[in-house]
Amino acid sequence: MNPRCLSLLLFFLANFANAQTLQFAQLGDFKLESGEVIRDCRIGYRTFGTLNSNQSNAVLFPTWALGTTEQLIGNIGSNKLVDSTKYFVIAVDALANGVSSSPSNSQLQPRMKFPKITIRDMVNTQHELLTKTLHLNHVRAVMGISMGGMQTFQWIVSYPDFMDKAIPIVGSPRPTPYDLVFIRAQLRAITNDPDWNNGNYTNNPARVAEAEFFALILTTPDEYNHHMTRERFAEELDKARNTLGFDSNDKIRQLQAIMALDISTSFGGSMERAAAAVKAKLLVISAVKDRAVNPVPALDFARLLHAQTLVLESDCGHLSPGCESQVVNQLVGDFLGQ
């Protein structure tokens, strides 16, 4: 048998056997945009569905901020956000999410010794995963939610020939000043907490503050007040004090990556030039009441490309794609099938 055919056969069999099971791509020492290196870098991923014979149905689906591929499983399958009966879905754990190489799991660069990363670094590791581990040089689409949408925006300018379509969902090509204020406040809540200890904490700091931030930004005041009572809110927030939650060092590195995101950086700061580099067909899904990721930059970028958009109006805010999943899932399915 031709060696390439044999390699592909083994790849198909391995992925069929390990579908949905967490796997790792070993990238070795991986050089970042900054010039620093992640030692023994590894990227977690799961695959769903079957890659077709001409390798034209692959869809890359990176995680949201501090999310994991395990949490993406509910969005993958028949009648879900992306249909794994039609597409070979590659869900990938972004750097610093606690599964892929992160401050919380690195043996050689633990805690704050782990270098700062960017969204582009996340994308570059995913490109390495696709090309060198999965032997794919093109995908049908890249899509993602929240920080996954930010990675999607970075993908279309960093590797414009790599995908036919892109679907950023409540993501942004760069955060607004309002977004940055919230991110900086979250970072300061962690680093000003007495338990912080320069990242060498025993218990994750700022648990209650984190819950308060999420209450403020994930939905809208109307939605929060609809589901919460005056009698219960303090009790609910205080429960966070004794929950494990996200690892704070991981959160710092991912929030710093979001703060640094600007897909126009490689184009002299011009979003127009960045848009001119895009070759993928784009569907931008935003939420007009999103308080976590302002929808304006994504919609402005969509206008530059005359791209298709869906603007959700739910009081769910940043969580609108879930609240309006029937509409979103249908549109995404139609767009992927075009």
Residue 6 has pLDDT above 60, yes or no: no
Nearest to 295 by CA among 166, 178, 215, 155: 178
**Amino acid identity for residue 109 in this structure:** Q
Q: pLDDT tens digits for 63-75?
A: 999 999 999 999 9
Domain boundaries, the chain: 3-177+255-337
pTM greater than the 0.85 cutoff:
yes
Pairing of strands 23-31, 281-287: unpaired
The predicted pLDDT at position 14 comes to 43
CATH says 3-177+255-337 is which class?
alpha beta
Pairing of strands 58-62, 163-169: unpaired
Residue 214 has pLDDT above 70, yes or no: yes
- Which tokens hold the place of 163? 């995908």
Residue 245 has pLDDT above 60, yes or no: yes
The predicted pLDDT at position 91 comes to 98
Mean pLDDT throughout 90-117?
A: 97
Select the more confidently predicted residue: 9 or 223. Answer: 223
Between 53-62, 242-251, 278-287, the lowest mean confidence (pLDDT) is in 242-251
Q: pLDDT tens digits for 118-171?
A: 999 999 999 999 999 999 999 999 999 999 999 999 999 999 999 999 999 999
Mean pLDDT of the chain, nearest integer: 92
Task: Report the greatest alpha carbon distance in the chain.
Answer: 70
**Cα–Cα distances in Å, from 238 out to 92, 115, 206, 211, 270?**
33, 32, 11, 8, 45
3-class secondary structure per residue, the chain: CCHHHHHHHHHHHHHHHCCCCCEEEEEEEEECCCCCEEEEEEEEEEEECCCCCCCCCEEEEECCCCCCHHHHHHHECCCCCECCCCCEEEEECCCCCCCCCCCCCCCCCCHHHCCCCCHHHHHHHHHHHHHHHCCCCCEEEEEEECHHHHHHHHHHHHCCCCEEEEEEECCCCCCCHHHHHHHHHHHHHHHCCCCCHHHCCCCCCCHHHHHHHHHHHCCCHHHHHHHCCHHHHHHHHHHHHHCCCCCHHHHHHHHHHHHHCCCCHHHCCCHHHHHHHCCCEEEEEEECCCCCCCCHHHHHHHHHHCCEEEEECCCCHHHHHHHCHHHHHHHHHHHHHC
Residue 12 has pLDDT above 50, yes or no: no
Please answer whether residues 312 and 195 qualify as being in contact, where contact means their C-beta atoms are separated by less than 8 angstroms: no
